[in-house]
Amino acid sequence: MSKGDSIQRAMLSSRRVPRLVIATTLLVLAMTIGLTTRQVRTGIREQMIGRDAAVLHAVVTTQLDEQASLEWDDADGGDALRAVLLASRLKGVIGTRLFATDGTFLESFPPLVREAELPADRLPGFRRGEPGSRYVSAVDPVEIFYASNGNGLDREPLPLLVVEVPMHATSDPRLLGIAQFLIEGHSTAVEFERLDRRLAAQALAIFAVAGVVLSWALSWAFGRLRRTQGLLADQTRHLEQANSELARAARTAAVGAITAHLIHGLRSPLTGLQHYVASLGNGEGGNGAQEWEIAVITTRRMQSLINEVVNVLREEEAASAYDVSVDELLGLVRGRVDGVAAERGVDLELSGGVPVRLMNRTANLLKLVLLNLVDNAIQATPAGRRVRVEVDGDERLLRFRVRDQGGGFPEAAVGNVFVPRRSTREGGAGIGLAISKQLADYLGATLELESSSTAGCVFGLRLPVGTEPEELGG
């Protein structure tokens, strides 16, 4: 499946993604608004409860200031209880308890109010002059009052606001006692319900407005993303088409390189035949049998070269696949150039032993490159000297080096040895290295002149293993 098809399939399968993202965003928004509203609700309730505590604290302090001569008796607390009776007249107060500075219960009003104790952890706050308050949504009246004259109390739970006020005069911050006011909490419950409704309405309005804005923004963003994906799919299809065109161009170039290799290989034998025919036409036959033998050998070389190229193209067309070891490849190269090396008196040495196997299509093209390099090296090396082919590497990279002992390239030609040029050799076309470079590029290999001196040249060929070229006939 092409990349364009993959993108198109991803676009089709992602139609549900925008809805999922919007739903998740709205859920997170709702949770955030809910938590924030709950925190605001708790804070406002604490302020509302603390408001009554502040009022009672101020009233009690005022009464104590008016009775500045009051002498406290912690044993019975009667005088202290009378000091807070005026504060008890506030609307909604249903009972009052008086405690000593250590939290011990002293007295209550009315007498039906049950005894109680103050928790020790709240005493430090009272000593600092801080009033306290708490709201209880449902309290059994029996927990507050004693039964009177055998008559049972109404057991219906009632809301209760408990306010605890430290008692001290303005002129004397010394703690004199703690007054606890029990306030009927129906009015507080009504205020809480009103607060909850108002906060719920505000939260719902915020969620509606923010949800609409976020949904629109996300829908617009996903719309842009889908359009971008569409453009990306179009661009990917165009790139795939361009890549296909480039692949076809590469295959055409490879076929052209093989054809050029054939022409280049035929050039020298044809030159020899031309000289032979010309000598016969001029009556310069000389030793006819020897020249005829040379012509036959030349013809066989031409036929062998044509058959070799035809076999390469035939295998490409048939798409047959099999492995060729590096040693087998070097053996094929030796079989082709041994005769030429012997004819020129050049010692040819090939080192193998690399346990790597190549696909036949890669090996066929690699053989053409090596044949060109080795043939050039033999032609450049004087008789009695050596041409050496070295190979090493592993299953990821093969490295070939072709060393000759010729005179090297002129200094001006070192930088453009792979550019077609006029050959200085009789019958040469000057395109052998250019053809080898083109075939190496097609294989994904790197061909370069590693060194050139009067002691000879070294050509290096590096071939990544495992990458196969495109079919030439594709």
Q: Which domain holds residue 269?
A: 243-464
Query: Is 19 found in the same domain as 128?
Result: yes
Query: Is 271 found in the same domain as 174?
Result: no
Query: Is 252 found in the same domain as 179?
Result: no
Average pLDDT of the chain to the nearest whole number: 77
Cα separation, 18 vs 7, in Å, equals: 17
E strand or H helix that includes residue 163: strand 158-167
Where is the domain boundary, 136, 167, 184? 184
Contact 354, 391 (CB under 8 A): yes
Query: Is 379 found in the same domain as 252?
Result: yes
Please indicate, yes or no, if residue 330 is contained in any of the structural domains.
Answer: yes
Residues with Cβ within 8 Å of 191's Cβ and at least 6 positions away in sequence, in order, are 48
Where is the domain boundary, 184, 216, 251? 184
Please indicate, yes or no, if residue 202 is contained in any of the structural domains.
Answer: no
Specify the CATH number for the domain of residue 79. Answer: 3.30.450.20
Please indicate, yes or no, if residue 1 is contained in any of the structural domains.
Answer: no
Query: Is 366 found in the same domain as 449?
Result: yes
Query: Is 247 found in the same domain as 134?
Result: no
- pLDDT digits 0-9 by tens, 275-318: 555 555 555 555 556 555 655 555 555 555 566 665 665 555 55
Specify the CATH number for the domain of residue 273. Answer: 3.30.565.10
Q: What is the pLDDT of residue 307?
A: 62
% of the chain exceeding 70 in pLDDT: 68
Query: Is 257 found in the same domain as 148?
Result: no
Query: Is 317 found in the same domain as 458?
Result: yes
Residues with Cβ within 8 Å of 69's Cβ and at least 6 positions away in sequence, in order, are none
Where is the domain boundary, 164, 184, 204? 184
Query: Is 107 found in the same domain as 31?
Result: yes
Please indicate, yes or no, if residue 180 is contained in any of the structural domains.
Answer: yes
Query: Is 249 found in the same domain as 156?
Result: no
Query: Is 259 found in the same domain as 123?
Result: no
Domains of the chain: total: 2
Predicted TM-score (pTM) above 0.95: no
Of the pLDDT bands very low, low, confident and very high (cuts 50, 70, 90), residue 428 is: very low
Structure tokens at 473: 């006939």
- pLDDT digits 0-9 by tens, 17-50: 788 888 898 999 999 999 999 999 999 988 888 8
Query: Is 273 found in the same domain as 364?
Result: yes
Please indicate, yes or no, if residue 420 is contained in any of the structural domains.
Answer: yes
Contact 366, 356 (CB under 8 A): no
Please indicate, yes or no, if residue 255 is contained in any of the structural domains.
Answer: yes
